[in-house]
Amino acid sequence: MRVLGIETSCDETGVAIYDSEAGLMGDALYSQVAVHAEYGGVVPELASRDHVRKLLPLVNEVLLSSGTSADQIDAVAYTAGPGLIGALMVGASTGRAMALAWGVPAIGVHHMEGHLLAPMLEEQPPEFPFVALLVSGGHTQLVKVEGIGEYNLLGESLDDAAGEAFDKAAKMLGLDYPGGPEVARLAEKGDRKRFRFPRPMTDRPGVDFSFSGLKTFTLNTANKLKVDGVLSETDRCDIAAAFEEAVVDTLAIKCRRALQQTGFKELVIAGGVSANQRLRDRLEVMVKKERAQLFYARPRFCTDNGAMIAYAGCQRLMAGQSSDLSIQCQPRWPMDSLEPIKQK
């Protein structure tokens, strides 16, 4: 089965073609970072308009680059949620219209399921069951995964997601949007031992997260060090390093607890923050001690992309699932409400 995948949940327009036998045949991505940077965050109306402007040209680009004609597409998968409702509607309405015109089925895909399954695109994919850390700008969750659609939420952030905390820390340090990569770059030049920031909720049992207190601690530290309202470059680097260390340590501690709780020996990390090299390195050390394995997608498939939607959609379509003609998008959509599919 050859599936065209469309991702438009937030500020990146992604299109890809995945073939159940040949694998990923082509993908293209347009990022709106430059559009939203001057506002310090995503402006939903601008995001929707940019998806309208870029989506069809990207579809044509991927069809051409993969040597695929429209009559070779067997189905269309699009992100149906969670995400910004206007942005979701662009991808859903376009995907549904193309499927109707081509006479093929279409399916709405859960955005976070797409992230969770993105490591399956790699040469050495994980095998079920495993523990998944979904860590992005909007989500920080630990999930027990026993198959596609068989998800049990173990823990999640009670306030800010880790990616959101990175963005807010970046603003405090005068860095550009998106904040995660900028904080990581600044942290590379910092002294990681100068400050000891708190590791939230690690002094109590459980695998839930909280990053709002860490955000406040970071702000207070920055304010104390300002001279005439300005942070020195050294202070900025050291604060970035301390903040990144605190987030990475917290995530690693909770992941270790989740592995011990489930008894599983595979850990998957997915979502934009999973591209953070410090996090990957720390988790590699942790899983080695736990005699487990770590899996993640290549960096370009950690952030939002069409390939993960095409893959996830393909798995459900091959199991006989599809969406009806109505266009239904869900800005909020619990992943544990998804229908499981039987693995072959």
In the annotated binding site for substrate, the residues are 134-138, 167, 180, 276
| Helix (H) or strand (E) run with residue 294 in it | strand 293-296
Contact 301, 309 (CB under 8 A): no
Other residues' Cβ atoms within 10 Å of the Cβ of residue 127 = 11
Domains 2-117+301-337 and 128-296 belong to one CATH topology: yes
Show binding-site residues for Fe cation.
111, 115, 304
Q: Are 333 and 110 in contact (CB under 8 A)?
A: yes
Which phi and psi angles does 131 have, rounded to 5°? -95, 135
Burial class of residue 39 in the structure, from the number of CB atoms within 10 Å of its CB (0-12 exposed, 13-18 middle, 19+ buried): exposed
What's the pLDDT score for residue 343?
57
The per-residue pLDDT string of the chain (344 residues; one tens digit each, 9 = 90 and over) reads 999 999 999 999 999 999 999 999 999 999 999 999 888 889 999 999 999 999 999 999 999 999 999 999 999 999 999 999 999 999 999 999 999 999 999 999 999 999 999 999 999 999 999 999 999 988 999 999 999 999 999 999 999 999 999 999 999 999 988 899 999 999 999 999 999 999 999 999 999 999 999 999 999 999 999 999 999 999 999 999 999 999 999 999 999 999 999 999 999 999 999 999 999 999 999 999 999 999 999 999 999 999 999 999 999 999 999 998 888 899 999 998 999 987 55
DSSP 8-state class, residue 311: H
pLDDT of the residue at 325: 86
Quick one: which H or E segment has residue 202?
Answer: none
Q: Please give the annotated binding residues, written as ranges.
A: 111, 115, 134-138, 167, 180, 276, 304
Instruction: For residue 229, give Cα distances in angstroms to 55, 222, 224, 232.
Output: 43, 10, 10, 10
Q: Does an H or E element contain 133, and which?
A: strand 130-135
Q: For the chain, what are the domain ranges?
A: 2-117+301-337, 128-296
Q: Return the CATH class of domain 2-117+301-337.
A: alpha beta
CA-to-CA distance for 16 and 271, rounded, in angstroms?
18
Residue 72, H or E segment: none
Count of alpha carbons within 13 Å of 319, Cβ hemisphere only? Answer: 18
pTM: predicted TM-score of the whole model, two decimal places: 0.95
Phi, psi dihedrals of residue 194, rounded to the nearest 5°? -70, -45
Q: How far apart are CA 31 and CA 34, in angstroms?
A: 8
Q: Distance between the two ends of the chain, CA-based, in angstroms?
A: 15
Instruction: Write down the pLDDT at residue 344.
Output: 52
Query: Is domain 128-296 annotated with CATH 2.70.98.40?
Result: no
**Contact present, 72 and 33 (Cβ < 8 Å):** no
